[in-house]
Amino acid sequence: ETGVTQTPRHLVMGMTNKKSLKCEQHLGHNAMYWYKQSAKKPLELMFVYSLEERVENNSVPSRFSPECPNSSHLFLHLHTLQPEDSALYLCASSQGPPGGGFYTGELFFGEGSRLTVL
């Protein structure tokens, strides 16, 4: 059983809907990430939180909005998505240095939320 759980596992939504993806990590890590995995493309880093502070990623459209209420939970709020946003969204966590920042060692991934936008 993975130490990072994501819900829902599958989501179908229309372009005008608002939905949220949820991620919870049970590993005591202090950094959490959202990645996007599209067919035939590398994993794309979307957002990073370290000690609940967000690293800005200007390349992600504003229709994706992350939220990190505490070090164990991460959300990705979705609104007015486009069909090309259909992909597997993976949450991950890692243990960074105590003072914050990112440890570039092992990432622990959840099983992903497969999103289809109609």
Q: Return the closest-CA partner of residue 117 out of 20, 15, 18, 22.
A: 15
In terms of Cβ atoms closer than 10 Å to its own Cβ (0-12, 13-18, 19+), residue 76 is: buried
Least distance CB 92 / another protein (angstroms): 8
Q: Which two structure tokens, joined as six digits, stand for 84?
A: 């090309």
Letters for 66-85 (x = contact with another protein by CB under 8 A, - = none) are --------------------
Task: Say which residue the tokens 């966590």 belong to.
Answer: 93
Least distance CB 60 / another protein (angstroms): 12
Residue 99 near another protein by CB under 8 A: no
Residues in contact with another protein by the rule CB under 8 A: 2, 40-43, 45, 48, 55, 90, 102, 104-107, 109-112
